[in-house]
Amino acid sequence: GAGVSQTPSNKVTEKGKYVELRCDPISGHTALYWYRQSLGQGPEFLIYFQGTGAADDSGLPNDRFFAVRPEGSVSTLKIQRTERGDSAVYLCASSRSIDTEAFFGQGTRLTVV
């Protein structure tokens, strides 16, 4: 596709459930980033991948959050035992390399009820 694609666009889940959020980066982009944007805040860094490996996961808030990128393309952000405080827009971005512009997807709005 032409841009970064994130699915689903909206997800409502019950507290305690497991969710997966998917990101399809721009073809050929080796770097992939996840950010979280809570209401009224700017995006907050979670993790970034260079190829298949997580190069920096220092932004993941706790061990309920995990992300993978097994083939160096699509990435999945996984959240276990969701809490109401996890409600936010989760943004994915990709870039050709870490030295080039990152392009953002439209995000997945996660609501935990």
The residues binding other proteins (CB under 8 A) are: 3-4, 31, 33, 35, 40-45, 48, 55-56, 58-59, 91, 93, 95, 97-107
Q: Quick one: 34 or 73, whose CB is closer to other proteins? A: 34
* 58/113 Cα distance (integer angstroms): 27
The neighbour count for residue 65, using CB atoms within 10 Å, is: 18
Shortest distance, position 81 Cβ to other proteins, whole Å:
26
Shortest distance, position 17 Cβ to other proteins, whole Å:
26
Q: Quick one: 66 or 103, whose CB is closer to other proteins? A: 103
Q: Quick one: 32 or 82, whose CB is closer to other proteins? A: 32
Shortest distance, position 79 Cβ to other proteins, whole Å:
21
* 39-58 CB burial, b ≥16 within 10 A, e <16: eeeebeebbbbeeeebeeee
